[in-house]
Amino acid sequence: MTAASTPQLVVHRDKELMAQATAARLITRIVDAQAARGTASVVLTGGRNGNALLAAIAASPARDAVDWARLDLWWGDERYLASDDPERNAVQARAELLGSVPLDPARVHEMPASDGEFGSDVEAAAARYAQELARAAGPGEHAGVPAFDVLLLGVGPDTHVASLFPEHPGVRETELTVVAVHGSPKPPPIRISLTLPAIRAAREVWLLAAGEDKADAVAMALTGPGEIQAPASGARGLSRTLWLLDRAAASKIPAGLYPPS
């Protein structure tokens, strides 16, 4: 069992500043990883906060401090739709940022789409992504996934992260790194998702939550009943777990947890 880091909270004035500050934070983290190891690895998230972060990076004057050709991009989850469906996380990520930076296409690892070789067999599609992750894992990395520098997660109002929903089978998975998801409470119903073991193999996990509608989820995930009922509470990085919030999303965190007493 790998040690997991204790959550740290950073609360920004509003969601716009949260996106801009997190963009600066992520650019710096990627640049530092590339300076240290010549490469960096980031897992993207779908959702409004994830997309706002990508848009903020695209608009950042520091954007091209990143060596985009030496960056591996993965996804934490994906909607199992046709590859050009505007509801796909990867399609939205390309529109926000990926289409305007010189990435190495071989290092952009989209999850399979329903119009690909697996067709309606989302289990086979999930297994293929697990294989791709395992192939990319280094000799010292035993979780079957690469040691991601930063794994980004939006947080749902029900405390879901990626496509791991409270009490659903995916959040209970302890062996596989990638699962197929059926009956997602958040449409569309069929998805592919990393599991908590895969998430917890990341060096750093950054959870993004902004807006009043996330306040209950944030408070529950930070104080509550555990990862089956609150999947976000199980999203911990090996060396860092960072909750990146705006004041509205942080508004129900019990005193003493924030600000640090």
Residues forming contacts to ligand 6PG in the complex (CB under 6 A) are: 45-50, 77, 79, 89, 154-156, 160-162, 186
Instruction: Tell the smallest beta-carbon distance from residue 155 to ligand 6PG (Å).
Output: 6
Instruction: Tell the smallest beta-carbon distance from residue 140 to ligand 6PG (Å).
Output: 29
Distance CA 194, CA 66 (A): 26
Q: Which is nearer to ligand 6PG, 62 or 129 (CB)?
A: 129
| Start-end of H helices in 62-155 | 89-96, 122-136
Instruction: Tell the smallest beta-carbon distance from residue 202 to ligand 6PG (Å).
Output: 15
Q: Which is nearer to ligand 6PG, 183 or 259 (CB)?
A: 183
Distance CA 30, CA 1 (A): 27
Longest C-alpha distance within the chain, in Å? Answer: 54
Instruction: Tell the smallest beta-carbon distance from residue 207 to ligand 6PG (Å).
Output: 9
Q: Which is nearer to ligand 6PG, 9 or 152 (CB)?
A: 152
Q: Which is nearer to ligand 6PG, 7 or 154 (CB)?
A: 154
Position closest to ligand 6PG via CB: 154
Q: Which is nearer to ligand 6PG, 70 or 186 (CB)?
A: 186
Distance CA 20, CA 37 (A): 26
Instruction: Tell the smallest beta-carbon distance from residue 74 to ligand 6PG (Å).
Output: 13
Instruction: Tell the smallest beta-carbon distance from residue 89 to ligand 6PG (Å).
Output: 5
End-to-end Cα separation, the chain, in angstroms: 30
Which residues are bridge partners to 209 per DSSP? Answer: 245
Q: Which is nearer to ligand 6PG, 70 or 182 (CB)?
A: 182
Q: Going edge to edge, which strands form the sheet with 77-79? A: 77-79, 191-194, 178-181
Q: Buried b vs exposed e over 11-27: b needs ≥16 C-beta within 10 Å?
A: bbeebeebbbbbbebbb
Distance CA 206, CA 243 (A): 6
Phi-psi domain of 256 (left: phi exceeds 0; alpha: psi -120 through 50; beta: other): left
